[in-house]
Structure formats: C-alpha cells, structure tokens
C-alpha cells in the first residue's frame, strides 16, 4: 500500500472512530433513559430557568468566586503569545471554560469564542457576553461552514479565538481537524492550554464541567504554540490534530502536577502517553 493511500486510510479510520464514540454515548444515554420525553421537557424547563440565572446571577457569582482564586501560570512562550496582539487559536477542553472565562488576561479583550448553536450554547453566550468575549455560534464540523468562515475572517483580520474541540457534545477530550484547518488557512498558531485546580465542583455532565471552589489554587499551563504549514495536506492535518490533543492533555497534566494534585483526566488521555 502506498504511503499516501495508507495515511488516507488511517485518517478515515480516525473519523469513523470518532463517529462511533458519539453514537456510543448517545446509545448509553438512551439505555439509561436519559432521552425520554419527560426528561427532555425537564431539561428544556431547566434551560429556561438557567437562562435567567445565567444572565443575572451567574456572572456575578462566578466573578466573586474567581477573585478568591490563587492563580499561577506557566509556559513562557505560550503566555507571551496569549498576551500579544497577534492572531492565535487557543485550544482548551470544554469542561474548563468556566474556569478560564473570568480570569484576568483572558476576559475583556474581545476574544472570539466558538459556541454551539444549541440551547446550552445560548446559556454560554450570555455568560461570555458578560465577560467581554465575542461569540461565534457554530461548530468545528463540516456542518459548521458558516462558523468556519466567520472564524477565518476573524483570524485573518488579526483577531484571536478560543475553541473547545470536544464541544458541544463530546466525547470528552476528542478532537477533529477543524483547529488545524483554521491554522493552515490563516497562519495563526494553535496554543494548547491546560487548567488544573486544587478544589472544585465537578458537574455530572459529559464534559465534567469544573468550577474551582472559593480560595482554590488554579494552575494554567500554556503549551508550546503549534504552527501549521500552509502546504500541509489533509492527512497531515489529521496527524497534527492528534499532536494538538496530546499537547492539551499534557498541559493539563503539567498543571495538576504543579499543584501536587491528582488529575481528573481519567482513562481517555491514554493516547497522549504513547
């Protein structure tokens, strides 16, 4: 088998594996009775109530709690890039969004954040608006063509962007070639960011959304920026995507190690250790 053809086969297998993971999560939810009509109605009601709370109380509460966090940062090259005015794409896990959202140096900079067009994405948009982020509605999938064009225009115009490649529905810590495609098309480097905390509330959601408790220690590790050549082909983008995923997981493990706390990554970081 020719090398190029073999790479194409491997890339197709990775995409199929991601689809199987999504289907497996959906099947498990069905098996647990999580998609019944009653629960669906309850979730819709909860979102409506949540929208009011998020819009009014949540930003104030989160901002107040964040002021008590003891934040430490590491990764000189990555932090310098983040604090610069150059275009960049931060890649972080969906479950850490509420931790980074209010932290000084990230908020109030009109940074673009990719948010799903779902009801949950609507709640996230209200919170992000309150912290001074610019919201892009859509996804990194092929169905998110409009969002991809908007993100491309934002970066090409010198803007900056935050994406959560495993959002909006998981599986947790999964990634596709969307971030690498953006980096290839715009020349903006990808900055993998890891977040750890000494004490936190962890929601029972697919992403284990994490909120550090008052006076928790929070470690942010900025990984080495990843540059994507403009002439990279699609197979190289797939390989780079796995490299970015590994760098994101490594950044989180480094951040937890700095705190001397066991990480909460679970078994899904195994590929990053290979």
CA distance 102 to 111: 13
pLDDT higher than 70, residue 161: yes
Average pLDDT over residues 194-205: 93
Helix H or strand E encompassing 259: helix 234-259
Q: Model confidence over 40-67: pLDDT tens digits?
A: 777 677 666 666 666 677 788 899 999 9
3-273: what fold?
Glycerol-3-phosphate (1)-acyltransferase (3.40.1130)
What distances in angstroms separate CA 81 from CA 72, 75, 101, 136, 264, one per listed residue?
A: 17, 10, 18, 22, 27
pLDDT higher than 50, residue 269: no
Residue 120: pLDDT band (50, 70, 90) is low
Residue 1: pLDDT band (50, 70, 90) is low
Average pLDDT over residues 241-268: 91
- For 74, phi then psi, to 5°, come to -145, 160
- Give the pLDDT of residue 132: 92
- Give the pLDDT of residue 193: 96
* Domain-wise residue ranges, the chain: 3-273
- Give the pLDDT of residue 140: 72
Contact criterion met (CB below 8 Å) for 113 and 128? yes
Residue 127: pLDDT band (50, 70, 90) is confident
- Give the pLDDT of residue 240: 93
Mean pLDDT of the chain: 84
pLDDT higher than 80, residue 75: yes
- Give the pLDDT of residue 6: 64
Average pLDDT over residues 150-162: 93
Helix H or strand E encompassing 113: strand 112-115
User: pTM surpassing 0.75?
Assistant: yes
Q: Transcribe 182-226 into DSSP letters.
A: HHHHH-PPEEEEEEEESSEEE-SSTT--EEEPTT-EEEEEE---B
Report the phi/psi class of residue 47: left, alpha or beta, with left for phi > 0 and alpha for psi in -120 to 50.
alpha
Contact criterion met (CB below 8 Å) for 53 and 59? no
- Give the pLDDT of residue 204: 85
């Amino acid at each position: 088998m020719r090398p190029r053809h073999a790479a194409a086969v491997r890339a197709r297998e990775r995409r199929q594996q991601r689809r199987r993971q999504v289907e497996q999560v959906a099947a498990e939810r069905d098996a647990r009775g999580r998609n019944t009509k009653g629960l669906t109605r309850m979730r819709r009601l909860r979102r409506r109530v949540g929208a009011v709370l998020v819009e009014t109380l949540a930003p104030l509460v989160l901002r107040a709690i964040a002021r008590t966090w003891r934040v430490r940062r590491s990764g000189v090259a990555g932090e310098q890039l983040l604090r610069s005015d150059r275009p960049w794409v931060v890649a972080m896990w969906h479950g850490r969004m509420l931790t980074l959202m209010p932290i000084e140096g990230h908020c109030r900079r009109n940074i673009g954040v990719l948010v799903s067009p779902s009801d949950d994405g609507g709640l996230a948009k209200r919170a992000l608006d309150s912290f001074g982020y610019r919201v892009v509605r859509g996804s990194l999938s092929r169905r998110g063509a409009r969002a991809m064009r908007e993100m491309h225009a934002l970066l090409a115009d010198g803007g900056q962007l935050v994406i959560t490649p495993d959002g909006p529905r998981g599986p947790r810590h999964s990634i596709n070639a969307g971030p690498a495609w953006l980096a290839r098309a715009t020349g903006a480097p990808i900055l993998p960011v890891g977040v750890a905390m000494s004490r936190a509330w962890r929601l029972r959601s697919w992403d284990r959304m994490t909120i550090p408790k008052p006076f928790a220690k929070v470690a942010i590790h900025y990984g080495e920026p990843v540059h994507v050549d403009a002439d990279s082909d699609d197979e190289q983008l797939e390989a780079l995507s796995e490299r970015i995923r590994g760098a994101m997981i490594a950044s989180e493990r480094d951040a937890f190690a700095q705190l001397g706390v066991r990480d909460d990554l679970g078994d899904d970081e195994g590929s990053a250790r290979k």
